[in-house]
Amino acid sequence: MTDAAAVTPAQAPPIPPPWTWAHGLSYGAVSLLLGMTQGLGANLINNNLPWIQGSLGAYTSEATWLSIAYTAANATIGLLAVKFRFQYGLRLFADLGLGLFIVIGLAHLLSNDLRSAIAVRAAAGMAASALSTLTLLYMIEAVPPERRVMGIALGVGWAQLALPLSRLVSIDLLGTGQWHGLYLAEIGLSVICIASVNLLRLTPVPRVQMFEWRDFLTFALFAPGIALLCVVLGQGRYVWWFDTPWLGWCLAASIVLLAATALVELHRKKPLIHLRWLTTADLLRLLVIILLFRIVLSEQGVGAFGLLQTLGMTNDQMVGLSWVMFFATLAGMVIVALTIDPEHISTPALIALLMVAGGAWLDSRSTSLTRPEQMFLSQGMIAFASALFLPAALLAGFPRAIKMGQEYIVSFIVLFSTGQTIGALGGTAFLGTLMTIRERVHSAQIVDRLSLTDPQVALRVRQLSGSYAGVLTDPALRSGEGAALLAQQATREATVLAYNDVFATVALMAVLVFFYLLFLRIRSDLRLRRQARAATLAEAN
């Protein structure tokens, strides 16, 4: 195969069978299963890292490699997955990806160490790339042809339902089998998915010769480049950005590899990634909006749940909050599926940004007495907003790729998945770093005001040391323990203030992105009106 090789002419696609309710419900059920499997695979481990790292005997920075492996594999394998689908069929790719994940997962249950766990997460990331596409395709086939937009909105939303659901099911899974229960659940769902996609098959599409040898050269440069960037974003706030030399080398290597990818693709007649098309103004703006929105959506994982875990809350105590987020996400999916208009695709995104800003502003008034019940409204708003945005972002660019041709679909999928991945990792890194910096600032300010010569501070130390009166008879030791408890309380208050700064920053960013998107919407409407007016005048003349 060479770059000059002609595409094999495709036969006419088969006529799909007439749509029936039985057809729609069965394909919709498979789409829901695939989406839930993908979403649970991504979130079951991420949401339970503190418990998993204890079982594996790993530090926080070491356990983070589990998330990095999943994210890097998921972001890069999509570059080949779309072409694989056109040439060999996506079902085969799903069978290979899920089969690999099941084999490695079973091996990990036997070896029980961090390295094998990282391999399992990488395999799960590759399998999730096929699952996300299958989820979308099965949902599109589940709806009548005239409601394809609804199918797209629901297809990209199923995985979002798994985010709050993962916290609910992990309670029982961790209680019965510790971290083994999480992996067994993923493996079991993957087995069911393999059976489902083979029993209920998608309407076949004509096979087209897609791969060229230089595609693999591009992948060999692009995949490690993105993976190294994921390493930098995932590890930076744990090993700290300026204290770890190897982090800088990873970033430098990532830049070199991605630049080499661009050079290779720009000099190909039939590139794997159409960079000239992706760097047009409209698609660059879409990428910026996806990145920024993913950053503000990190408020839930890094911010709200991070704050509650800092205050001592566990998944058992956040059941009510998880149910609120689940139903808010479901409501957002249904509403956007029923109301989304391809002609005004920015409307749900604008509404979502306002809701994120409102929810983050409510969270910015948290205190050390805040409990999950006080976050029902704010987190419900943000969960609802996340369900509104994703279908709008996909529909903003996917139809353009379809009009350009099959090869451009690969480029758009790379843009969309990479933007989602880098935005999520970048958001976590940015907000986590901001929280650390602000915690140090607030902690220093609080400690500067604490002096034992202050009567109120001395009284507080005596009150706290009183809890040790029954076990410590030495007054000096009791006073020292009281001072230690006061220091813990000061650190907790500084942490809460830092989270409030994070929430306020997210609210401000959401407002700025809202006005940026609104400006683009107004400018586009004015341009369309001018074009319509010019066309009317031309017809009149």
pLDDT tens string 281-331? 777 777 787 878 888 777 777 777 888 888 877 777 888 888 998 899 888
- How many Å apart are CA 43 and CA 169, to the nearest integer? 11
The torsion of the CA quartet 487, 493, 498, 500, rounded to 10 degrees, works out to 180
pTM, whole model, 2 decimals?
0.81
pLDDT for 496 beyond 80: yes
- How many Å apart are CA 512 and CA 534, to the nearest integer? 33
**Higher per-residue pLDDT: 462 or 345:** 345
Return the pLDDT at 8. 44
- How many Å apart are CA 209 and CA 202, to the nearest integer? 20
Return the pLDDT at 461. 65
DSSP-assigned letters across all residues of 174-217: HHHHHHHHHHHHHHHHHHHHHHHHHHSPPPP--------HHHHH
Number of CB atoms found within 10 A of residue 392's CB: 24
Q: Which amino acid, one-letter code, is at 82?
A: V
- What confidence tier does 253 reach under pLDDT thresholds 50, 70, 90? very high
DSSP state of 264: H
pLDDT for 261 beyond 70: yes
Return the pLDDT at 15. 60
Per-position b or e across 177-208, b if 16+ CB within 10 A of its CB = eebebbbbbbbebbeebbebbeeeebeebeeb
pLDDT for 12 beyond 60: no
- How many Å apart are CA 437 and CA 440, to the nearest integer? 5
Q: Checking phi first, is residue 312 left (phi over 0); if not, alpha (psi -120 to 50) or beta? A: left
